[in-house]
Amino acid sequence: MYDPFAGRGTTPLEAALLNRVPFSCDVSPLSAILLRPRLFAPTTQDVVKRLSEIDLDRRVDTPDELLVFYHPRTLSHICRLREYLIDRESHGHLDAVDAWIRMVAVNRLTGHSSGFFSVYTLPPNQALSVGSQRKINAERQQKPPLRDVRRLIATKTQALLRDCDRATRRQLESIAQKACLINRGCHSTPEIDDKTVALVVTSPPFLDVVDYASDNWLRCWFCAVDPDSVHLTILKRIEEWQRAMRAVFSELGRVLKSGGHVAFEVGEVRGGPRQT
């Protein structure tokens, strides 16, 4: 199964759970950061143990502008965790447990409940600008509360792995060895051989609707991803969108097996009907 616009990786993960080998492609490196750890899922016990071993109280520089989202102590712990993960990755020591912790932390950065590191803000798939968050804080007369970073990661981990028993973990690990996670535009994917994909399931970028770069600026910061290096597909005219999708379909025609299928959902195109 192949998803050429993998995003957060939900479709490839579901494919792996159905015992299909997942191929994914996304221009953003955040896609693999969010997907790969779920294919090599650790145990909750291993995550809790690793969290206890990370010294979150060690002094670290913190960006003051982020105090509109976080209590000072919470921000210090987030920055220390970020520093730890970047150091582990730079030295080639980032293992499956670290990668899982990073994935969960990325999804806990901001949100609108006490299950997130931040004060009340937009839902977790969007990160407001510092200025916009400052306005929300003033309107709601709110201050960022102290959050327990370790506890929130551990609690979310327990929820995510609730149904991941030993057999499921073994299946995922076996399938993951054959998975292919590509970080580039999907109009050219030489990593995928001709006529090897049986099923394509995807939803392409919306037409001039979502600003992916703005929505993910905080995630990019946490993962040390330079957002300017990510050339996202943001198309403002239907003709541009059609040209881009023709190139994608040409590549899908190359990798698709004879008799294979493509499910291609197009939504929110300037008030038009949803099409597949």
Q: Is the pLDDT at 211 greater than 80, yes or no?
A: no
pLDDT score for 215: 79
pLDDT score for 50: 98
CA atoms lying within 13 Å on the CB side of residue 256: 17
Per the prediction, the chain carries an average pLDDT of 91
The confidence band for 266, taking pLDDT boundaries of 50, 70 and 90, is confident
DSSP per-residue letters across 252-273: HHHHEEEEEEEEE-B--STTPP
DSSP state of 190: T
> Cβ distance 214 to 131 under 8 Å?
no
Q: Is the pLDDT at 96 greater than 90, yes or no?
A: yes
Q: Is the pLDDT at 275 greater than 60, yes or no?
A: no
Question: What is the rounded average pLDDT of the residues 50-66?
Answer: 96
The confidence band for 196, taking pLDDT boundaries of 50, 70 and 90, is very high
- Give the tens place of pLDDT for each residue, 160-179: 999 999 999 999 999 999 99
pLDDT score for 216: 85
Question: What is the rounded average pLDDT of the residues 109-124?
Answer: 92
- Give the tens place of pLDDT for each residue, 251-265: 999 999 999 999 998
Helix, strand, or coil here: 86? helix
- Give the tens place of pLDDT for each residue, 228-254: 777 666 667 788 888 989 999 999 999
Helix, strand, or coil here: 12? helix
Higher per-residue pLDDT: 25 or 208: 25
Q: Round to whole Å and give the CA distance between 120 and 82.
A: 22
pLDDT score for 213: 65
Q: Is the pLDDT at 13 greater than 80, yes or no?
A: yes
Biggest alpha carbon–alpha carbon distance for the chain: 60
- Percentage of the chain exceeding pLDDT 90: 79
